[in-house]
Amino acid sequence: MTHKNTPRLVTVPLDDKPIMHRVFQLYLYELSIYSDDEINAQGTFDYPYFDAYWTADNRKLFLIRYNETLAGFVMLRLKIEDTVFNRQVNSIAEFFVMNRYRRYGIGESVAQQCWSRYPGRWSLMAYTENLPAVAFWQKTISAYAQSGQYETKTIDDKIHFYFTAG
């Protein structure tokens, strides 16, 4: 695989909702090793906010395209009240880069594109047991946050990150 192009964020139109749902199920399955999520009677994982990404103005959903191939997605929540840090923030709600596309800087590039597109205060969360994700976010946030500074709080089985970007 050639790794020369910059990944692109592509808005997901309503017509592509079935595609997004299938990719989202891969993500939820992968994440289920850390969460308590179970599949429902139809054999899929439930996510109560999925439809809101096509209806709510403060939710943004992007597919990640790399060399025009679907490589993952990112789901953002903009200008929300963060209950962990008690501040208004933008939030990376869900973030997924398929295994084949990891370790090539795609995730870092996508995160930085989000932070550049929506500068300001940000928060995100990772499961503490998901050591690759925790390491990824520590490295990526340090490289892009103002002065390389960020705050963390661990609550139950999750680590919450807070920082300013842009």
Q: What percent of the chain has pLDDT over 90?
A: 91
Phi and psi of 29, rounded to 5°? -60, -45
Domain assignment of residue 3, yes or no: no
Domain assignment of residue 2, yes or no: no
What pLDDT is stored for residue 160 in this prediction?
97
Domain assignment of residue 137, yes or no: yes
Q: What is the pLDDT of residues 59-111, one digit of tens each?
A: 999 999 999 899 999 999 999 999 999 999 999 999 999 999 998 999 999 99
Query: Once rounded to an integer, what is the mean pLDDT over residues 156-161?
Result: 96
Could you please report the per-residue DSSP string of 97-142? E-GGGTTSSHHHHHHHHHHHHS-EEEEEEEETT-HHHHHHHHHHHH
Domain assignment of residue 144, yes or no: yes
CATH number, domain with residue 89: 3.40.630.30
Identify each DSSP E strand in the chain by its residue range.
8-11, 59-66, 69-82, 87-97, 120-127, 151-155, 158-165
Domain assignment of residue 143, yes or no: yes
Count structural domains, the chain.
Answer: 1
Q: What is the pLDDT of residues 14-72, one digit of tens each?
A: 999 999 999 999 999 999 999 989 999 999 999 999 999 999 999 999 999 999 899 99
- Residue span of the structural domain in which 137 resides: 8-165
Q: Which two tokens stand for residue 133?
A: 């994700």
163 touches 149 (CB < 8 A): yes
Domain assignment of residue 1, yes or no: no
Question: Is the pTM of the predicted complex or chain greater than 0.85?
Answer: yes
Instruction: Report which DSSP code applies to 10.
Output: E
